[in-house]
Amino acid sequence: MHAEPVVHTQGLAKNFGRTAALAGLDLTVMPGEVHGFLGPNGAGKSTTLRILLGLVRPTSGTAQVFGIDPWAEPVRAHRDIAYVPGDVTLWPNLTGGEVVDLLAGLRGGADESLRRQLIDEFDFDPRKKARTYSKGNRQKAALIAAFSRPAKLYLLDEPSSGLDPVMDAVFRRHVRRVAAEGATVLLSSHILAEVEQLCSRVTIIRAGTAVESGTLAELRHLTRTRFRVTADVQPEELAAVPGIHDLRAEGKAIEFDADAAHLGAILEALASAGVTGITATPPSLEELFLRHYSDQSSPQPDVQQNAAQQDAARQSHAR
């Protein structure tokens, strides 16, 4: 694919006083992608989106949206963007319908039938003053404004955090709809199921830099398979096999995680270990996320291997 990326940042850094919110973030979102943007609280996700909107100026590095520098030309960059902030505050004395008309109107006007359909599907009362709305209803107003006029890029900052499961389904349906129509979506989220259902690519950000980026399949490949075996073997023997981590033994029951890259060698080792029972849990993204979300310097409670081996394993994942 030789298409120009829709969103492209290189070495993006932002300091607020002495705190570094971003420290050299590289992020590329290609046209038509639904790109998951994940990371722990305070990793710099919202700051990144604000820079992409030209609301905040990067300390160093470059950010481009549709090839435009959003800080220099915010109005031109915004023409094809729809944005839903993470924490939606509305004008308390405007009704929800007026807020939708204002935000969609400034982008060129809502598609009337789409607006009606969204209000209907989100079960939203547009006649109520915004001060009476709950968090979820404020979010609905911002989502309706964003989806009621087609955009080329949707920047969504944890958009479903206040929605109930039924409304969440409506939200996912509309993300799929705009993606099918060819739009690009950058979706910041903490909800794994949402990311697995919607996103084709994922970037995980931590402490202001991207630590993983790739398709879901690629990321799954990075994760480990959990084995539970019953075997007549000294646990130390298995622990010495490369690619085996977090080994725990209780009598003959042994549990461990296996790197995908070393699965062949591990299976060979098991074959000669007198195995009488085996279960293997497929690789899950959750494990990968938890690994990235938790602090590197403090070992997880269930980790019994020594820290050096852990670090070595991580380095083999870092690319």
**What are the C-alpha distances in Å from 182 to residues 13, 114, 148, 185?**
30, 17, 16, 10
Q: Is 129 in the site for other proteins (CB under 8 A)?
A: yes
Residue ranges in 48-67 that form contacts with other proteins under rule CB under 8 A: 50, 53, 55-57
Q: Is 106 in the site for other proteins (CB under 8 A)?
A: yes
Residue ranges in 264-293 that form contacts with other proteins under rule CB under 8 A: none
Nearer to other proteins, 103 or 239 (CB): 103
Shortest CB 89 distance to other proteins, Å: 4
Residue 260 tokens, joined:
């995908």
Nearer to other proteins, 58 or 243 (CB): 58
Question: 42, 67, 105, 182: which one contacts other proteins (CB under 8 A)?
Answer: 105
Shortest CB 43 distance to other proteins, Å: 15
Residue ranges in 135-154 that form contacts with other proteins under rule CB under 8 A: 142
Residue ranges in 151-210 that form contacts with other proteins under rule CB under 8 A: 155
Nearer to other proteins, 109 or 182 (CB): 109
Residue 14 tokens, joined:
């932002």
Strands 209-215 and 60-65: unpaired
Q: Whose CA is closest to 114, among 152, 156, 147?
A: 147
Nearer to other proteins, 50 or 140 (CB): 50
**What are the C-alpha distances in Å from 168 to residues 130, 159, 160?**
21, 9, 6
Q: Whose CA is closest to 55, among 91, 17, 92, 83?
A: 83
Spell out the residues 6+ positions from residue 41 whose beta carbon is closer than 8 angstroms to its own. none
Q: Return the amino acid letter for 47.
A: T
Residue 291 tokens, joined:
């690994």
Q: Is 94 in the site for other proteins (CB under 8 A)?
A: yes
Pairwise CA distance, residues 311 & 62, whole Å: 32
Q: Which stretch binds other proteins (CB under 8 A): 82-90, 160-168, 207-215, 257-265?
A: 82-90
Indicate the helix (H) or strand (E) that contains 24: strand 19-29
Nearer to other proteins, 92 or 182 (CB): 92
Question: 8, 78, 226, 245: which one contacts other proteins (CB under 8 A)?
Answer: 78
Q: In what order do the strands lie in the sheet with 34-38?
A: 81-84, 153-157, 184-188, 34-38, 201-206, 209-215
Q: Is 83 in the site for other proteins (CB under 8 A)?
A: yes
Question: 32, 85, 162, 214: which one contacts other proteins (CB under 8 A)?
Answer: 85
Whose tokens are 């790109």? That residue is 35
Shortest CB 127 distance to other proteins, Å: 5
Our measurement of the distance from residue 281's CA atom to the centroid of its chain's CA atoms, rounded to an integer in Å, reads: 23
Question: 35, 45, 107, 201: which one contacts other proteins (CB under 8 A)?
Answer: 107
Indicate the helix (H) or strand (E) that contains 106: helix 96-106
Residues in contact with other proteins by the rule CB under 8 A: 46, 50, 53, 55-57, 74-76, 78-79, 81, 83, 85, 87-95, 97-98, 101-103, 105-108, 126-129, 131-132, 142, 155
